[in-house]
Amino acid sequence: MGQHDDPEISAFAAAAGVAAGAVLLDIRSAAERAGGMAQGAQGVDIDALDAWLARVALTQPLLLICAVGQRSLRAAQALCARGIVAQSVRGGMQAWIAAGLPLADDDLDADARERYARQLRLPEVGVRGQARLARARVAVVGAGGLGSPAALYLAAAGVGTLSLIDDDVVERSNLQRQVLHSDARVGAPKVASAAAALQALNPRACIETHAVRLDMDNAVHLLAGHDLLIDGSDNFAARYAVSATSLRLGLPMIYGAVERYSGQVSVFDPRRADSPCYRCLFPYPPAAGEAPSCTEAGVLGVLPGVIGLLQATEALKLLLDLGTSLIGRLLLFDALAMRFRELALPRDAQCPGCGADAQPLDAQALQHLCQG
């Protein structure tokens, strides 16, 4: 192997070198490599590089790659100082991805690599995480104030299938806060209007529409087969139906609610023994007229955007298994004070929804509840 004057090599030249037989080592940590590796690369932690070199007899050029090219450059320079000729891929995996070069186990086409480029650069997401999103099915109950921002950002992130459930039509009074819709689509079914907006944003997304009102009778049929549920409903009958179905099917429910200048969000995940459910927070629905709807109380237009985006964030975290979710916590937002507060929300052993003596709500008993 001849001596190189330049300790760095471009991503394109490295790819050509690999095709010609060069050895490409990804010296990032295993956790970083889980987000995706260059096609043809072998994973060797930088701390294990000397041990790897001692086991092999190199007969081909040696190339090193890391995240942005700094660690691999230092490693290549150190190896060259010891008489082992090596080059670092300039810009690392960041440059490799930006150049549109193939990744290991990468079934993303050029459109997907460009569309999700910034997300793919996150080690915790990468190609594998993006593939998980593409396979995901998320039900969004309500295509209004909360469902609008949640659906927009989930579609933009590459969630493969979004099921929109809403029986309402677009009204001009919706446009102040329901950003999926437009003035040109006033009078159209909300799910049709939403689907048009989401497909325009990301033609890769599969949008399923259900122009029906979700209730206890149809909830299982509508929600089965999804990975998680976004509760953007505007009435208590739907919300309690979503909660009951979440428990029955073992599907996480991402709850959000808004009124005037305040909102709240939490995650209820029946797959976890320590998770509360919606009825741990609100055991029984209020009587008709006790809780004012947005129509009656009003709502600041940007508020559903804040809460809906938090719901979308929690959804992506669950789908990608990232961070710490809001399970067991109720996040409260006060727009006037611009302040978030957090309340502990433990599971209630006596909860009528998920406790030992659960008391399912009767479908008929919910019919009188007011629409928000």
Average pLDDT over residues 136-159: 97
Q: Which of 16, 12, 109, 122 is nearest to 67 (CA)?
A: 122
Alpha-carbon dihedral 201, 205, 210, 216, rounded to 10 degrees: -110
Tokens representing residue 286 in the block: 């209020």
- What is the predicted pLDDT for the residue at 2? 43
Asked whether residue 372 carries a pLDDT value surpassing 70, the answer given is no
Average pLDDT over residues 178-202: 97
Confidence of residue 34 (pLDDT cuts 50, 70, 90): confident
Q: How many CB atoms lie within 10 A of CB 332?
A: 14
Tokens representing residue 186 in the block: 């006033």
Measured CA to CA, the distance from residue 130 to residue 160 in angstroms comes to 10
Average pLDDT over residues 46-73: 93
Tokens representing residue 372 in the block: 């928000």
Return the DSSP state at 308. H
Return the DSSP state at 273. T
Q: Is 294 a catalytic residue?
A: yes
Domains and CATH numbers, the chain: 8-107 (3.40.250.10), 136-366 (3.40.50.720)
Please, are residues 143 and 194 in contact by the beta-carbon 8 Å criterion? yes
Q: What is the pLDDT of residues 222-231, one digit of tens each?
A: 999 999 999 9
- pLDDT exceeding 70 applies to what percent of the chain? 93
Q: Which of 176, 291, 278, 183 is nearest to 231 (CA)?
A: 278
What burial class does residue 210 get, using C-beta atoms within 10 Å of its C-beta: 0-12 exposed, 13-18 middle, 19+ buried? middle
- What is the predicted pLDDT for the residue at 359? 82
Length of the chain in terms of residues written:
372
Helix, strand, or coil (residue 112)? helix
Asked whether residue 182 carries a pLDDT value surpassing 50, the answer given is yes
Place of tokens 């209020």: 286
Measured CA to CA, the distance from residue 329 to residue 62 in angstroms comes to 50
Tokens representing residue 145 in the block: 């104030």
Give me the catalytic one of 294, 351, 354, 370: 294
- What is the predicted pLDDT for the residue at 68? 94
Asked whether residue 363 carries a pLDDT value surpassing 80, the answer given is no
Helix H or strand E encompassing 265: strand 262-268
Whole-model pTM? Answer: 0.77
Higher pLDDT, 127 or 215: 215
